[in-house]
Amino acid sequence: MRNIFVKKLIERAKKNNNIYFLTADLGYNAFEIFKNKFPDRFINVGVAENNMIGIAAGLALLDKEVYVYSIVPFLVFRSLEQIRNNLCNTNLNVKIMGGGGGFSYGEQGISHNTSDDLSIMNTMPNLKVFAPGSKNETELMLDIMFKNIGPSYMRLGKVSTLDYNIQKNSFKIGNGIIVNEGKDLIIISCGNILENVLNVVQNLKKRNINSKLISFPCIKPIKKLFLIKNLDKKNKIIIIEENTKIGGLGSTIKDFLIENNYNNIVKHICLKDIIHDKIGSQKFLRDINNLSVNKMQKEITKLLD
Amino acid sequence: MIKLNSENNKNLKKLALELRKDIIKISYQKKAHHIGSELSCIDILTTLYFSIMNIEPSIKNNKLRDFFLLSKGHAALALYVVLCKKGFFSKKFLINNFLKNGGRLGGHPDHNRSLGIEYSSGSLGHGLSVGAGIALGKKRNKISGNVYVLLGDGECNEGMIWESMMFASNFKLNNLTAIIDNNNLQGLDYSENIINLKPFDKKLKSFGWDVHIVDGHDFLELKKIFNKKNTKPKAIIANTIKGKGLFSMENTINSHYETIDSKKKYEKFIKELK
């Protein structure tokens, strides 16, 4: 996803002199092309995320469009107050681009992985929160982010090999995307766990279980009208995210269901509210947290029986 | 370029006294605290706004303007009385909005360009980074105008200040000036008893700044240093007295949180003011 972002940002920066890219000394083998093309608009602030957010705010006060990059935990958790006070409360045009998220950094340990960034960012006023799950989704969400003035957060995980086609023009911010139509159950998801979810949907189809899959590459805002239109009151609903149970996409959907008197049976497949200190590949960590294709499939068929 | 509002030092002194009276009066009306912090920096703000900076309500959206950021946000009322005097809003607006339900002028300032408040503060340590960002933007656009950031000495306990210090010198932001309201008092004690910053000037110099030490209540000296040309970002350690001008509060720990809670106290303070 990071490479898609760099490519699209370069295209945009060619047309617009106001684009600035700031990094807290991360992004080896990714942002060099931007740096070479636009040396004046590439700012490496050093290993100083808090200062980076302040610098971004100052540039945005002079009407620049600023992109800040580091890996997810160093931005979201170290610089949360800077994000809250300097960007969100003041509604400045700064885009927070977080590398990784979830178990993207696998064996690098608990400092590099996050189970909770989407939850925390969901609470920030004015902030749009993006968690694309595929190449097409990433490209579309970047276009949406480019058009949207104001602060945004994007979780840039590893891009999956699986993808689906999107009607780009029909997407509006606040909506999800209907990836697959089906009458037997509803699956809702976001972020790059989508690759596993797509596999699950395909496998279920082979067993004659047809699921309606709704992807939310933008988890904030989500429009109530879209949910009313696309969630019926009978089907079982499965929500899948590589994020904690508290405060992420699942919470938003469950809030909607409760507040609007839906009585659907709901299963939230997500990360438990525990310390995720096991080491291993993203695949391994997903598996031990019940987010592998097999385990999700088992969970869903159990629910349908 | 817009002509600078030139006042002689005597006038600045007179003006600062008037603003001090406003601070005391409004603090009494609103039972506000942080009076000591406001009296400590009001001479610096008066000098900047009435003798140094290129800023008027008519150019509040002009990118060439000078920017002032009150990083030590708890001295908000000092900024408000200055902006009011500059004509950004009326005295009536100030009274009706300061510390009032539904009002727009909080105990710490919130970003509002139309009121002349360039940036939100209240959480210490952020202002110098934001100021450096504005200064960098001006440099990249090759546009004139300086950025002034007022820091507290206690605020310099924050790590982010030193991140931005390193950044500003590295990026040669000589259009950035940090003024440290060095009153040697902070929340609970004298600064030197909490985290001793000494030798402060040497620290700043070693971070690549052009460092000056001045009497923060001497208008002539302040003006001279503000006008001095610099090739590096400029740090002015302004030695000040917390509660300056109000003898009962001067250099006391209480001056940070003490309020004027009776008419008798208010009348005493107004008489005492100089």
Q: For the residues B94-121, what does the mean pLDDT come to?
A: 96
Q: Which of B78, B36, B42, B38 is nearest to B248 (CA)?
A: B36
All structural domains of chain A, each given as residue ranges with its CATH number in brackets, are: 2-156 (3.40.50.970), 169-304 (3.40.50.920)
Chain A: residue nearest B137 by CA? A59
**Within chain A, what is the greatest distance between any pair of CA atoms?**
61
Whether residues B166 and A48 touch (CB distance < 8 A) is answered with yes
Q: For the residues B214-228, what does the mean pLDDT come to?
A: 97
Residue A56 identity (one-letter amino acid): A
Q: For the residues A82-89, what does the mean pLDDT come to?
A: 97
All structural domains of chain B, each given as residue ranges with its CATH number in brackets, are: 12-272 (3.40.50.970)
In order of A37, A43, A281, B151, B166, the CA distances from A40 in angstroms are: 9, 7, 38, 29, 19
Q: What are phi and psi for residue B178, nearest 5 degrees?
A: -105, 130
Amino acid A79: pLDDT: 98
Amino acid B2: pLDDT: 36
B62 in contact with A, Cβ within 8 Å? no
pLDDT tier at B1, thresholds 50, 70, 90:
very low
pLDDT over 90 (residue B6): no
B164, B129 Cβ separation under 8 angstroms: yes
Q: Please report, rounded to a whole number, the percentage of residues in chain A having pLDDT higher than 90.
A: 95
Across the beta sheet with A211-215, the strand order is A177-180, A211-215, A185-189, A237-244, A266-271
pLDDT tier at B36, thresholds 50, 70, 90:
very high
d(CA B69, CA B111) in angstroms, rounded, equals 10
Q: Which of A184, A180, A196, A204 is nearest to A289 (CA)?
A: A196
pLDDT tier at A119, thresholds 50, 70, 90:
very high
A47 in contact with B, Cβ within 8 Å? no
Could you tell me the end-to-end alpha-carbon distance of chain B, in angstroms, rounded to an integer?
A: 35
Selecting from A48, A62, A90 the residue whose C-beta is nearest the C-beta of B163 gives: A48
pLDDT over 70 (residue A181): yes
Whether residues A58 and B135 touch (CB distance < 8 A) is answered with yes
Amino acid B8: pLDDT: 75
Q: What is the DSSP letter of B115?
A: G
Find all residues with CB under 8 Å of A68, minimum gap 6, and list them: A22, A23, A24, A52, A53, A56, A75, A94, A95, A96, A97
In order of A10, A51, A99, A254, B172, the CA distances from A13 in angstroms are: 5, 23, 20, 40, 24
Selecting from A40, A43, A57 the residue whose C-beta is nearest the C-beta of B130 gives: A57
Size of interface A-B (CB pairs under 8 A): 86
d(CA A47, CA A21) in angstroms, rounded, equals 15
CA distance B112 to chain A (A): 9
pLDDT digits (tens, 9 = 90+) for B187-202: 999 999 999 999 999 9
Q: Please report, rounded to a whole number, the percentage of residues in chain A having pLDDT higher than 70.
A: 100
pLDDT over 50 (residue A253): yes
Q: For the residues B64-93, what does the mean pLDDT come to?
A: 98
Q: Which of A2, A210, A211 is nearest to A100 (CA)?
A: A2
* Lowest-confidence region among A251-260, B197-206, B253-262: B253-262
Amino acid B4: pLDDT: 42
pLDDT over 60 (residue A123): yes
Structure tokens at A147: 């058009």
Amino acid B3: pLDDT: 37
3-class DSSP state for residue B258? coil
Q: Which residues pair with residue A244 across a beta bridge? A: A271
A198 in contact with B, Cβ within 8 Å? no
Average predicted confidence (pLDDT) for chain A: 96
d(CA A37, CA A288) in angstroms, rounded, equals 43
Distance from CA of residue A191 to its chain's centroid?
Answer: 5
For residue B232, how many C-alpha atoms fall within 13 Å in the half-sphere facing its CB?
Answer: 17
Whether residues A54 and B111 touch (CB distance < 8 A) is answered with no
Across the beta sheet with B176-182, the strand order is B67-70, B147-152, B176-182, B234-239, B210-215
Q: For the residues B161-177, what does the mean pLDDT come to?
A: 98
Q: For the residues A50-71, what does the mean pLDDT come to?
A: 98
Q: For the residues A46-59, what does the mean pLDDT come to?
A: 98
Burial class (CB in 10 A: 0-12, 13-18, 19+), A20: buried
d(CA A254, CA B24) in angstroms, rounded, equals 52
Whether residues A58 and B137 touch (CB distance < 8 A) is answered with yes
Angle CA(B225)–CA(B226)–CA(B229) in degrees, nearest 5?
80
pLDDT over 70 (residue B13): yes
B residues 96-155 closer than 8 Å to A (CB): 110-111, 118-120, 122-123, 126, 128-138, 140-141
Q: For the residues B8-26, what does the mean pLDDT come to?
A: 94
pLDDT over 50 (residue B28): yes
Chain B: residue nearest A38 by CA? B140
Q: What is the DSSP letter of A247?
A: S
Q: Which residues pair with residue A240 across a beta bridge? A: A189, A269
Amino acid A159: pLDDT: 80
pLDDT digits (tens, 9 = 90+) for A131-175: 999 999 999 999 999 999 999 999 999 887 889 999 888 899 999
Q: For the residues A205-214, what does the mean pLDDT come to?
A: 97
Amino acid A162: pLDDT: 87
CA distance A52 to chain B (A): 8
Chain A neighbors of B172, CB-CB under 8 A? none
| ipTM (interface pTM) | 0.92
| Rg value, chain B, Cα | 17
Chain B neighbors of A86, CB-CB under 8 A? 120, 126, 130
